Amino acid sequence: MLLGSVLVLLLFGGAGAASAHAALRATDPKDGTVLKSAPRDITLTFTESVGLLDDSFRVLDPDGKRLKVGDAGHGPGGSETARVSLPAKLAQGTYTVAWRVVSADSHPVSGAFTFSVGKPSPAIVVADTGPTEDPATESLFNMGRYLAYLAVALLIGTAVFVTACRPPEPARLRRLLWAGWGTLLGSTVFLLVLRAPYESGAGPASAFSLKAFERTLTTRPGEALLVRLALLLVGYFFVVRLLRLGEERLPRVWQAAGGALAVGLALTWAAAEHASAGIQVPVAMTSAVLHVLAMSVWLGGLAALLTTLYRASAQLPAAVPARFSRLAFASVTVLVGTGVYQSWRGLGSWSAITGTTYGHLLVLKLLAVTLLLAAARLSRQWTGRLVTVVAKSETVAAEAESVVRETVPAAVVREKVSTGGVLEEAPTAVVGEKVPERVGGSPSAPEPAPVTPGPAAPAYRHGLRRSVLAEVAVGVVVLVLSTVLSGTLPGRAQAEAAEAGPATGGLPAASVTNVPFAVGGATGKVQITLDPGRTGQNSVQAIVYAADGGLATVPELRLSFTLPAKRIGPIDAQLRNKGGYWGTNDLTLPLAGDWRMKATIRVSDVDQISVTKTVRIVG
């Protein structure tokens, strides 16, 4: 049931616009400028390193025809820039530039802008400017990413649990280990094959292009997936060796090999996501590796402990959950330290917590982690009680055995042990008294009352099962939120892009669109004003009204524009909360036509809805 809920969340909660981490900082020529003479090249500057595609630039002339430009490359600013050379002679009029690059942390980003030579064109003739996002490719790729995160936690966490906690029946975790290894192997191959269409925005069928696949193998995300695949093939032998364990411990050589494999797997994530770009990359990479490992040891270990608690043929020794409790505490300590650092690095300022999607998701994750820590504390309490009651039982058993050996002659004890006899009758003498004889002349042997853990032990084990189950359920939510965060533009990058953008004043009414919504018991509409509602730079003002006509506030409002007929977009409006309304002065719509405007309104932590309207943009 839990797995089914997760899959529903992955299938339906992962759809939406692609989240890219490299935000456009500046363009040369600047958007909307009129130049006296034609530029020799076009240069884009981003907030972090970007990778280039074969079709990164599409430049349209004033007649809407595509220009033949040079190969895309990096400019003098290094890997944070993208540059393309233009023909020697350009006709007078307005040119449209549609671009698409891949962020250093593996996510594609696209957009468009215009510039004019001599004077602006009186009208813009539209033409094919390149691909938009394919929803099927995006949803499939995101699902593969979610499964990979779940699988690595299951694989590493179960392996560490078997090695460090030494459950009495490690073979019962066979299915869990193979499920983690097999799912991670399958999702890695799946992501590797789907990587090319995900970057280019094409459909899943283009994944079978040999040329596109060869290009994927030369990119950093592709190389990271290849390394992950190689490590998993080596890891097969480690899993086989681990499942052959009985009561003995895994040899130190194998423990070292397993640790190296786990670190290597974690590095394949750190090398292709947030940590690989931005500030303090070496520190961020180390932090990311520790974060993935600690997350896997804790959440994967919880799944292994839960399986052991429910499937063990005999009562689980209290030492097993006690060992995992200490391991989980160390993992949580690492998670808190690395999480604080990564949050600071991604946010950049306190205002980003409430003013960016990244900040909102981070708050949700913090709440989920708090709930997870509460469940973990409860599990530690049940573990402590179970260890205490079992220890008392063992002490009582040891004392009873000592009494037996002191009150029964050694010869009798040896005789009974050697013959397999049973000591009978409770002792009536204390140490030093004569042992009474039974009929037949042989001394009676005192037998201590059977020692059991008492009625509290089963109750403690039942309580431990429930608390661990709660930890696993909340842990899956935390894992999903972590994956979504890895696909969201960091607040620091969003702020840098906003500061670099031009600002203009005034929001007079021009083109007004009303977007009704109803979700989570809340109904109302969003009034969206585009000024001037023409090609080029526009200002946006979005006001949320409640059902009674009064002003309403929502925690998040997103707006994106796509021109499907000409395959431009999606272009994120990057609305900011202005206090009473949401707005921006930096939306550029380069071409005339019927644009598809998608408004996403979030009214609570879990309730949101996306509504699409068609907006006519004139030249």
pLDDT of residue 119: 84
Of 85-94, 335-344, 353-362, 573-582, the one with minimum mean pLDDT is 353-362
Q: Are residues 514 and 489 in the same domain?
A: no
How many residues are listed for the chain in this entry?
A: 619
**Does residue 18 surpass a pLDDT of 50?**
no
CA–CA separation, 239 and 261 (whole Å): 11
Strand 511-519 and strand 78-85: pairing?
unpaired
Structure tokens at 231: 């490590």
Whether 71 has a pLDDT exceeding 80, the answer reads: yes
Top mean pLDDT of 71-80, 225-234, 293-302, 591-600 is at 225-234
- The answer to whether the beta carbons of residues 600 and 610 sit under 8 Å apart is yes
Domain boundary among 69, 90, 117: 117
Q: Which residues contact 15 (CB under 8 A, 6 or more apart)?
A: 135, 138, 139, 142
* Dihedral sign for Cα atoms in the order 311, 479, 474, 335: positive
Structural domain contains residue 281: yes
Summary mean pLDDT of the chain = 74
CA distance 21 to 491: 10
Mean pLDDT (whole number) for 96-125? 79
- Is 487 a member of any domain? yes
- CA dist 608 and 590 (Å) reads 29
pLDDT tens digits for range 206-217: 888 888 888 888
Per the model's pLDDT, the better-predicted residue between 64 and 304 turns out to be 304
Q: What is the CATH number of the domain that holds 560?
A: 2.60.40
Q: Which residue has the higher pLDDT, 584 or 243?
A: 584
Which of 100-104, 190-194, 325-329 reaches the highest mean pLDDT? 190-194
- Taking alpha carbons only, the member of 147, 105, 470, 500 closest to residue 268 is 105
Checking if the pLDDT of 2 tops 50, the result is no
Instruction: Categorize the per-residue pLDDT at 281 as very low, low, confident or very high, splitting at 50, 70 and 90.
Output: confident
CA proximity to 145, closest of 104, 175, 184, 178? 184
Whole-number pLDDT of residue 490: 60
- List pLDDT tens digits, range 384-427: 665 565 556 555 555 555 555 555 554 444 444 444 444 443 44
Out of 97-101, 333-337, 372-376, least confident range: 372-376
The whole-number average pLDDT for the span 128-133 is 50
Residues 252 and 109 placed together within one structural domain of the fold: no
Last residue of a domain, one of 468, 494, 520: 494
Residue 419 lies in a domain: no
Has residue 76 got a pLDDT over 80? yes
- Which structural domain, as residue segments, surrounds residue 486? 135-390+456-494
Counting runs of H as helices and runs of E as strands, what totals does the chain give?
14, 17
Is residue 241, in this structure, part of any structural domain at all?
yes
Listed in sequence order, the DSSP H helices in 408-490 are 410-419, 456-485
**Average pLDDT of span 243-262:** 83
What type of residue is 108? Answer: P
Rounded CA gap, 64 and 494, in Å?
32
Q: Is residue 124 part of a domain?
A: no
Name which of 286-300, 392-406, 536-550 the model is least confident about.
392-406
Same domain, 475 and 520: no
State pLDDT tens for residues 562-614: 888 777 878 888 888 876 678 888 888 888 888 889 988 888 776 788 888 88
Range name among 273-277, 488-492, 534-538, 572-576 with the lowest pLDDT average? 488-492
Residues of the chain with pLDDT > 70: what percent? Answer: 67
Residue 560 has pLDDT above 60, yes or no: yes
Average pLDDT over residues 44-70: 85
| Sign of the dihedral defined by the CA atoms of residues 496, 488, 191, 204, in that order | negative
For residues 142-151, give the mean pLDDT. 89
Q: Say yes or no: 225 and 271 in one domain.
A: yes
Q: Percent of the chain, pLDDT > 90?
A: 11
Asked if the structure places residue 411 within a domain, the reply is: no
Whether 50 is covered by a domain: the verdict is yes
Tell me the per-residue pLDDT of 151-194, one tens digit each, with 9 for 90 and over.
999 999 999 998 888 887 777 888 889 999 999 999 999 999 99
Same domain assignment for residues 485 and 514: no
Cβ-contact 503, 495 below 8 angstroms: no
At residue 308, the pLDDT reads 82
- Looking at residue 431, its pLDDT comes to 37
CA distance 242 to 165: 13
242 has pLDDT over 70: yes
Same domain, 156 and 255: yes
Residues 145 and 208 in one domain: yes
Is 412 within a domain? no
Higher-pLDDT residue of 120 and 132 is 120
pLDDT band at 83 (very low <50, low <70, confident <90, very high): very high
Per-residue pLDDT, 158? 92
Could you read off the pLDDT of 434-467 as tens digits, one per residue?
Answer: 444 444 444 444 444 444 444 555 666 666 667 6
Both 511 and 486 in one domain: the answer is no
What is the distance of C-alpha 554 from the center of its chain?
A: 25
The answer to whether residues 221 and 368 belong to one domain is yes
Q: Does one domain contain both 516 and 489?
A: no
Residue 552 has pLDDT above 60, yes or no: yes
In angstroms, the CA 173 to CA 113 distance is: 56
Q: Are 480 and 521 part of one and the same domain?
A: no
Q: What is the pLDDT of residue 527?
A: 84
Say how far apart CA 329 and CA 338 lie, in whole Å: 14
Q: Is the pLDDT of residue 99 over 80?
A: yes
> Which of residues 494, 520, 552 is at a domain's end?
494
Residue at 340: amino acid letter? V
527 and 589 belong to one structural domain: yes
Ranges 46-55, 252-261, 448-457: which has the least confidence? 448-457
What are the φ and ψ backbone dihedral angles of 374, each rounded to 5 degrees? -65, -45
pLDDT exceeds cutoff 90 at 142? no
Rounded to whole angstroms, how far apart are CA atoms 545 and 526? 6
What's 56's domain CATH number? 2.60.40.1220
Confidence of residue 314 (pLDDT cuts 50, 70, 90): low
Q: How confident is the model at residue 313 (pLDDT cuts 50, 70, 90)?
A: low
β-pair partners for 145: none
Domain count of the chain?
A: 3
Asked whether 534 and 615 are in contact (CB, 8 A), the reply is: no
Please tell me which residue, 553 or 481, carries the higher pLDDT value: 553
